Amino acid sequence: MRKTKIAPSLLAADFGNLQRDVELVNQSVADWHHIDVMDGVFVPNISYGMPVVKSIAKHATKPLDVHLMIVDPNRYIKTFSSLGASILTVHYEACTHLHRTLQEIKAEGMQAGVALNPHTNINVLEDTINDIDLVLIMSVNPGFGGQSFIERTYAKIRDLKTLIQERKANALIEVDGGVSSENAKALAEAGADILVAGSFVFKSEDPSATIRELKEIAG
């Protein structure tokens, strides 16, 4: 039986108590730590960079799922590998040579992810799907936590699932943005393998219980 993975996004953590919130994820039923790196160019916001990722890595006990919302991510593949990323996801829209970028991520021993903005059709991955370990479907416009979920995401997940099956590819499907107990089940049923949740987890009264709730609902 399939089990949907939950990846709490530390973007919504209390940065004044970062170690506490990383340890909260360690001790919860979460599967991965989702780490959002924004450069203020690819997206209209700046989150945090290498020193903070290094501090997170020092305390984290689960795989680091790093989501780069930056231009020209090639420049930093080696850096994120040395910081301990297990999965490194770059945006399709930020890569001129996506195939090369994927090979370089894998050569550094990480799993290679590709993120798609809400406006990007999944068919742009037809020629690379067999080289991708994970596709991250943005269900909000990247840059900020706490935005409303875009309903068209379900159709995109289903289309992507069909492409993966047709090509006999192994890519996992991750959904990021506006995930909550309201949509977790429907997302898993549509074909999502990993759910990222920021505000819904960290703005709740008991984040650990909320992570468990999401995991149970998604099944």
Kindly state the helix (H) or strand (E) to which residue 79 belongs, with its residue range: helix 77-82
Residue 11 to residues 25, 56, 140, 198, Cα–Cα distance (Å): 13, 12, 14, 6
Contact window for Zn ion (CB under 5 A) among 28-36, 56-64, 79-87, 149-157:
28-36
Residue 175 tokens read as 């959904």
- Asked about 72 being catalytic, the answer comes back as no
8 near ligand DX5, judged by CB under 6 A:
no
For residues 151-164, one letter each, b for 16 or more C-beta atoms within 10 angstroms of the residue's C-beta and e for the rest, the string is eebbebbebbbebb
Least distance in angstroms from the C-beta of 8 to ligand DX5 = 9
177 annotated among ligand-binding-site residues: yes
Question: Measured from the CB atom, is 170 or 209 closer to ligand DX5?
Answer: 209
Residues 50-109 that bind Zn ion (CB under 5 A): 67
Which member of 36, 39, 65, 193 is catalytic?
A: 36
33 near ligand DX5, judged by CB under 6 A:
no
Binding mask 119-158 for Zn ion (x = CB under 5 A): ----------------------------------------
Question: Measured from the CB atom, is 50 or 107 closer to ligand DX5?
Answer: 50
Query: Cα angle at 99 between 56 and 70, to 5 degrees?
Result: 40
- Asked about 36 being catalytic, the answer comes back as yes
176 near Zn ion, judged by CB under 5 A:
yes
Phi-psi region of 133 (alpha: psi -120 to 50; beta: other; left: phi over 0): alpha
User: H/E/C letters for each residue in 145-205?
Assistant: CCCCCCCCHHHHHHHHHHHHHHCCCCCEEEEECCCCCCCHHHHHHHCCCEEEECHHHHCCC
192 near ligand DX5, judged by CB under 6 A:
no
Binding mask 46-85 for ligand DX5 (x = CB under 6 A): ---------------------x------------------
Catalytic residues: 36, 176
